[in-house]
Amino acid sequence: MNVQSPLLSVRDLKVWFDIKRQGAMPWTPVDKLKAVDGIDFDLMPGETLGIVGESGCGKSTLARAIMRMVPAEAGTVLWLGNDLLQLNKHDMREHRKEMQMIFQDPLASLNPRMTIGQIVAEPLTTHHPNLSASEVKDRVREVLDRVGILPNMINRYPHEFSGGQCQRIGIARALIVKPQLIICDEPVSALDVSIQAQVINLLMEIQEEMGLSLIFIAHDLSVVKHISTRVMVLYLGNVVEISESAQLYRSPGHPYTEALISAVPIPDPNAEASKEVMILDADLPSPLNPPSGCVFRTRCPIAGPECAETKPPLTDRGNGQQVACHKR
């Protein structure tokens, strides 16, 4: 394990949204939707942290809270020792060039009224306004070429490109300011499987070249296994397990992680037919009214009385594995 200081340290981060009931009177108290409810983790230099979980578990909200795209209710986000949640707009802008984001829908994340040259150049002209027009153009051509987009396409518009090409343009836009961290919010979920592999391999190559740290959010556990150094499993806004990637897939510690991994298809037809899939019977609870104690207890096959009473803390189980479970 890397003995360097963390690049990013998140402590007790909470993101709650006010939800007004339909037809409620103005004085009626609002409900609190706890999208992220007290998350802790560290990200080391050069590391890739994969984040997995069902839809609605808080993955994208967590990413946006780190980038201050949504307000946090409480907690700290330490970036190189600076708490981003306490910075004013001017100081936060200075740090934004160090952290960039790649979004899920490649075409929707690009302005259709701008050429790809203008789209990729925008972060550079925002954070480095002293660069000349020729310097900006040279940097744009260089980064487009690196992600596999021909520089002579610089004056074309996003609708003229395929989904995979648009995601490469999104990667180029993130790379142009030479950040230290890129948050990838399900960057391949909208792409064909063959294109997914190309984009993932491109990210891994660029990470090695530039020494980047990545936070990689995905539904596909096979993709996460391929790219991640460690994996963090979220359930209903809570961390239920953090583990080294190989350890997590070899020996998952939390029942929810077991269920997720059991649902991953196996390429071997015989192995796929004979494997045991762990079925979660109950529906996902509402984050407006989460279960008491362990948030997973209503769907957990090994839950006991103590699971309803107290929330299990993340406990170190050795081998770089932390699990939040009373029974494990």
CATH of the domain at 311: 3.40.50.300
What is the percent of the chain with per-residue pLDDT over 70, rounded to a whole number?
Answer: 98
Across the range 141-161, mean pLDDT stands at 94
> Which domain covers residue 60, as residue numbers?
8-43+54-88+219-323
Global confidence as pTM: 0.91
Q: Is residue 241 part of a domain?
A: yes
- Please indicate, yes or no, if residue 151 is contained in any of the structural domains: no
| Residue 279: inside a domain | yes
Q: How many folded domains does the chain comprise?
A: 1
Whether the Cβ atoms of residue 47 and residue 40 lie closer than 8 Å to each other: no
What is residue 1's predicted lDDT score, i.e. its pLDDT?
A: 42
Q: Is residue 267 part of a domain?
A: yes
Nearest one of 295, 296, 199, 219 to 59, comparing CA atoms: 219
For residue 2, the model assigns a pLDDT of 44
In a domain, 313, yes or no: yes
Which has the closest alpha carbon to 257: 193, 302, 227, 197? 302
Mean pLDDT for the stretch of residues 136-142: 95
Q: Is residue 233 one of the residues assigned to a domain?
A: yes
Residue 226 lies inside a defined structural domain of this protein: yes
CB 202, CB 171: distance < 8 Å? yes
Examine residue 84 and state whether it is found in any structural domain, yes or no: yes
